[in-house]
C-alpha cells in the first residue's frame, strides 16, 4: 500500500513517544510505502487534493529496560514530489492541534479526496464536527456535570454550587490553559475574564473530580473498540495529568465502566468517521474525546507488551481491501 501521513515537521517528532512515528514505523515493517507531508504542502488542483510528498523510511526504535531508544538518524527522506492524494491508498491527518484556521483549511482540502478510492483517517468532516471538549457533551450518561459559557455570572454560580471546578479552553491542547477554580479564590473574576476574553469566548467548566489524584486515563479506540489504555499522573505541585505538563505514565487496565463508556461512544464515532480516537476518563467519567492526533500508543505498548501501531495498520489493510471490494 501507499500511505500518506500529514504530520508536523518530522524533525520535531519524538520517535520514542509520538504515535504518528509508531504508525509509520509499523507500516514500513509491514512492507508498505510511507509518504509524509505537512498542511502547507496541500493543494486543490482540478477539484482534486494534491500534496508535496516525501517518501520516508523509519528506523525502528529499540525497547530497552530503560525505555525506548532511537537511532541518531531514525528516518530517511526522499526528494519532494507533487502527487494527487488519490494515488495513495490511505491518507492520515495527524497534525497536532490547535484546530485553527490553518488546520481547518487542511480538512477542507482533504474533502477533495474521493473516499471511494482513498481511505481518509480521521474523516475531515468528523474532525471539524468533533471539538475535543464539546464532542463529549452529547454522551450525557458518561460525562461529569459540565457547562459551556462565556458568562462570568453563570460560571461563578456553577463553581459556587460545586465548590470547585476545572476550567478548560475549548481550543487548546496538552492541558494548555486548564485551570482549577475554587469559589473562594480572590482571583476568580480575573481568571474568568482572561479565559473568556472578557466574556467573548466560551469555556468549558466541569465539576472537579477528586479521583484525578489517582490519574487521568487515556483509552485508545480503534473503530470504536478499546484496544489499550494508560494512566497519566500529575507532576508534584501540578493538578493537570497531561504528559506535556510534566505528568508521568503508569500501567492500567480498562474497567467495566470504561468499556460501557466506549460502547456508548462507538456508534457515534463510527458514523462520524472517527476511527483512531483517544478518550480521557477520570473516576469513571468521560472528560474529553481526542480526534486530531491522539497519542499514547508507545507507552501502552511498553506497559502491555502490545503493538498498537501494527494493529492499526492491519486494520487499515482490511479497510482498504473492503474499499476495493465496494463493501
- Known catalytic residues? 133, 168, 218, 232, 240, 280, 288, 290
What is d(CA 244, CA 267) in angstroms, rounded to the nearest whole number?
30
What is d(CA 78, CA 133) in angstroms, rounded to the nearest whole number?
38
Helix 297-304, helix 19-29: angle, nearest 10? 70
User: What is the phi/psi pair of residue 302, to 5°?
Assistant: -65, -40
Whether omega for the bond prior to residue 76 falls within 30 degrees of 0, making it cis, is no
End-to-end CA distance of the chain: 18
Q: Are strands 2-6 and 146-149 parallel, antiparallel or unpaired?
A: unpaired
CA 116 to chain centre: 25
> Are 221 and 291 in contact, with CB atoms under 8 Å apart?
no
> Are 240 and 234 in contact, with CB atoms under 8 Å apart?
yes
Helix or strand or coil: residue 53?
A: strand
Please tell me what DSSP assigns to residue 183.
Answer: T
Q: What's the number of CA atoms in the CB half-sphere (13 Å) around residue 54?
A: 15
> Are 39 and 319 in contact, with CB atoms under 8 Å apart?
no
What cell numbers appear for 69 in the block? 531508544
Amino acid at each position: 500500500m501507499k500511505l500518506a501521513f500529514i504530520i508536523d515537521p518530522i524533525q520535531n517528532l519524538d520517535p520514542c513517544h509520538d504515535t504518528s512515528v509508531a504508525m509509520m514505523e509499523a507500516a514500513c515493517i509491514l512492507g508498505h510505502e510511507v509518504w509524509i507531508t505537512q498542511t502547507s504542502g496541500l493543494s486543490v488542483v482540478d477539484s482534486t487534493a494534491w500534496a508535496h510528498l516525501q517518501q520516508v523510511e523509519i528506523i525502528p526504535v529499540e525497547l530497552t529496560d530503560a525505555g525506548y531508544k532511537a537511532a541518531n538518524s531514525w528516518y530517511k527522506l526522499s526528494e519532494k514530489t507533487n502527487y494527487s492524494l488519490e494515488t495513495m491508498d490511505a491518507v492520515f491527518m495527524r497534525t497536532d492541534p490547535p484546530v485553527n484556521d490553518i488546520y481547518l483549511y487542511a480538512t477542507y482540502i482533504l474533502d477533495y479526496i474521493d473516499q471511494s478510492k482513498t481511505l481518509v483517517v480521521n474523516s475531515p468532516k468528523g474532525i471539524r464536527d468533533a471539538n475535543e471538549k464539546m464532542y463529549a457533551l452529547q454522551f450525557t450518561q458518561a460525562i461529569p456535570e459540565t457547562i459551556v459559557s462565556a458568562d462570568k455570572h453563570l460560571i461563578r454560580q456553577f463553581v459556587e454550587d460545586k465548590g470547585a471546578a476545572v476550567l478548560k479552553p475549548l481550543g487548546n491542547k496538552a492541558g494548555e490553559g486548564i485551570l482549577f477554580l475554587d469559589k473562594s479564590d480572590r482571583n476568580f473574576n480575573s481568571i474568568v475574564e482572561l479565559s473568556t476574553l472578557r466574556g467573548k469566548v466560551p469555556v468549558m467548566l466541569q465539576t472537579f473530580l477528586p479521583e484525578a489524584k489517582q490519574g487521568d486515563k487515556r483509552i485508545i479506540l480503534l473503530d470504536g473498540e478499546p484496544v489499550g489504555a494508560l494512566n497519566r499522573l500529575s507532576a508534584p505541585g501540578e493538578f493537570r495529568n497531561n504528559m506535556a505538563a510534566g505528568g508521568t505514565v503508569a500501567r492500567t487496565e480498562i474497567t467495566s465502566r470504561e468499556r460501557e463508556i466506549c460502547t456508548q461512544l462507538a456508534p457515534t464515532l463510527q458514523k462520524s468517521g472517527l476511527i483512531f480516537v483517544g478518550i480521557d476518563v477520570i473516576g469513571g467519567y468521560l472528560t474529553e474525546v481526542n480526534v486530531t492526533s491522539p497519542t499514547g500508543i508507545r507507552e501502552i505498548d511498553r506497559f502491555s507488551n502490545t503493538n498498537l501501531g501494527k494493529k492499526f495498520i492491519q486494520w487499515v489493510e482490511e479497510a482498504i481491501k473492503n474499499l476495493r471490494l465496494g463493501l
